[in-house]
Amino acid sequence: MAAPRGFCAGVDRAIEMVEKAIERYGAPVYVRHEIVHNETVVNRLRDLGAVFVDELDEVPDDRPVLFSAHGVPKSVPAEAEQRKLLYLDATCPLVSKVHIETERHHRRGAHVILIGHAGHPEVEGTMGQLPADAMTLIETVEDAEGFEPKTDGPLAYVTQTTLSVDDTIQIVDVLKRRFPEIWVPHKDDICYATTNRQEAVKAIAAEADLLFVVGSPTSSNSLRLVEVGMKAGCPVGRLIENVDAIDWDMVEKLSPSVVALTAGASAPETAVQGVVQGFRERFNLDLQEVETTRENVEFKLPRELV
């Protein structure tokens, strides 16, 4: 088992904000998009009284609404203020840092390159901080090689916080080679939790015959953990929501002697322990935890909920 794994500080904060909002304002409390990308977490909050919607026009005027941990375009809080909605922003502070960097580069006259995955809510939120023509999304090394600026002005780049560290370095290297004067972030945008979980997977993957990552298919950082583990030497990797998603016939056929187990930053530890129990019921299990670093990061709740 990799350590660290599972919930990061931004996810903890976002989930607690929904719980506190339900306590303070009563149910229902509305949430624009999934608060975090995990079905188990979302279903539990739904049972408590959270209502998840796609857009603000689904939110009644008299009920509070929260924005997800992935961040939102500027147009969303602007619409909420226009309607005089009570809104709470659960955007992860590390995502907010990227938004601030993006605006800073724009004010200095730079065209901003965002390294990320099209369609991800965090990317949509970051792209929505600037006018449409002020930012370009780059997803791959090939995109970086083919990018041609439309003006002679300065360039800057920022990144989605949940990317593969190794893949992102390759893209950044291309941009630095092609545009030596490009402005870089003061500090890596990929968040500490994503980096730590990828390093922990690397530490165990090469010794394993099979890797399970507990997380949802919509979770970018969970998908990256599968990729990182397989690149690090594990021949078979699977993303699973929980123990019920395990193909036990596949496990029996592979007959692994070592199974690596971790969880994405929005996956609850209860789901991880459910997987452990599933193996314990079927095999003689020797459980070992490999800790590569210890996390002590906490993000404060907004004043409205304290």
Angle value at C-alpha 69, between 25 and 45, nearest 5 degrees = 45
Number of H helices, E strands in the chain: 11, 12
Q: How far apart are CA 232 and CA 288, in angstroms?
A: 19
Tokens of residue 172, six digits? 């950044």
Integer angstrom CA distances of residue 250 from 230, 236, 285: 17, 11, 18
Closest CA to 215 of 229, 234, 235: 229
Residues paired with residue 52 on neighbouring β-strands, in sequence order: 31
Tokens of residue 160, six digits? 């989605």
Task: List, edge to edge, every strand of the sheet that includes 135-138.
Answer: 135-138, 111-115, 155-159
Integer angstrom CA distances of residue 95 from 73, 99, 114, 210, 251: 12, 6, 13, 32, 37
Active site residue 122: yes
Tell me which of 34, 39, 122, 241 is the catalytic residue: 122
Give φ, ψ of 238 to 5 degrees.
Answer: -135, 140
Known catalytic residues are 122
